[in-house]
């Protein structure tokens, strides 16, 4: 399989990180493997903390021509110079957000295991729909999004699909033929060497 035929990679930040060290760690990861998009997804609701983290991550991402989206905080997208938003709660806000942010913004939705919610998001002009977790993870309800869901979506729906949550090298190999993107977060940041973990997961696509 040529590199161009492989699913693209989508990176998610840790839920919290040190501004003094994380941007360098992120830069190493982005330089090691080709990444299509970065998502800022912090556990905090503190706007100042989010803004400072967004500024640091945006600088690293945009220097490498990588788009950066933020989880849920749609009102911060334009203010912080980000490329779009990822909704962690499905399709509910997709239509209004597309209207508010315009056609050039990235709008994505995590739809758990719900084929119906995914189709609704697609109909409302989402750029991608994420399903998961595909492995053991506390993402969403924890209910596993099976390979058959991805297989069906790939055959029937044109909207790009993202596999995320609990990914392992074995799952990456298994899902590579039926997904457009793999989203990696805790899989790499909890590893001793995040760049090495990312490189190994990326290599498993082939």
pLDDT tens digits, one per residue of 150-170: 999 999 999 999 999 999 999
- Kindly provide the b/e burial profile for residues 35-49, where b requires at least 16 CB atoms within 10 angstroms of the residue's own CB: bbbbbbbbeeeeeee
Provide the 10 A C-beta neighbour count for residue 139: 22
pLDDT at 2 over 80: no
How much of the chain exceeds pLDDT 90, in percent? 96
**What is the rounded CA–CA span in Å between residue 187 and residue 103?**
32
Measured over all CA atoms, what is the biggest interatomic distance in the chain, rounded to whole angstroms? 45
Predicted TM-score (pTM) above 0.85 = yes
Indicate the pairing of strand 84-87 with strand 37-40. Answer: unpaired
**Residue 85 CB neighbours (<10 A):** 25
Tokens encoding 186: 């805790």
CATH code 3.40.630.10 for 7-203:
no
CA–CA separation, 17 and 139 (whole Å): 19
pLDDT level of residue 199 (50, 70, 90 thresholds): very high
- Contacts of residue 169, defined as CB under 8 A and 6 or more positions apart, other chains included, come to 200, 201, 204
Q: Which helix (H) or strand (E) holds 182?
A: strand 181-184
- pLDDT attached to residue 4: 56
- Predicted confidence (pLDDT) at residue 19 exceeds the cutoff of 60: yes
Task: Please give the structure tokens belonging to residue 49.
Answer: 């903390």
| CA 22 to centroid of chain Cα atoms | 18
Both tokens of residue 131? Answer: 């399903």
pLDDT digits (tens, 9 = 90+) for 88-142: 999 999 999 999 999 999 999 999 999 999 999 999 999 999 999 999 998 988 8
Cα separations in angstroms, 168 against 14, 59, 163, 177 = 17, 29, 12, 15
Count other C-beta atoms under 10 Å from residue 2's C-beta.
Answer: 6
């Amino acid at each position: 399989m040529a590199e161009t035929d492989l699913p693209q990679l989508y990176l998610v930040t840790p839920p919290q990180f040190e501004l003094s060290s994380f941007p360098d760690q992120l830069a190493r990861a982005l330089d090691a493997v080709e990444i299509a998009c970065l998502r800022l997804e912090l556990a905090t609701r503190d706007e100042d903390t989010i803004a400072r983290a967004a500024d640091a991550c945006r600088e690293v991402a945009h220097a490498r021509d990588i788009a950066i989206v933020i989880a849920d905080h749609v009102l911060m997208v334009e203010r912080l110079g980000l490329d779009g938003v990822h909704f962690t709660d499905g399709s509910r806000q997709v239509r209004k957000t597309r209207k508010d942010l315009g056609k050039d913004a990235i709008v994505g939705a995590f739809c758990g295991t719900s084929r119906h919610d995914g189709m609704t998001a697609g109909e409302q002009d989402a750029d991608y729909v994420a399903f998961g977790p595909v492995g053991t993870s506390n993402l969403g309800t924890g209910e596993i999004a099976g390979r058959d869901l991805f297989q069906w979506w790939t055959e029937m729906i044109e909207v790009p699909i993202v596999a995320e949550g609990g990914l392992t090298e074995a799952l990456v190999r298994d899902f590579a033929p039926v997904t457009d993107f793999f989203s990696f977060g805790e899989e790499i940041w909890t590893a001793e060497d995040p760049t090495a973990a990312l490189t190994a997961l990326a290599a498993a696509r082939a």
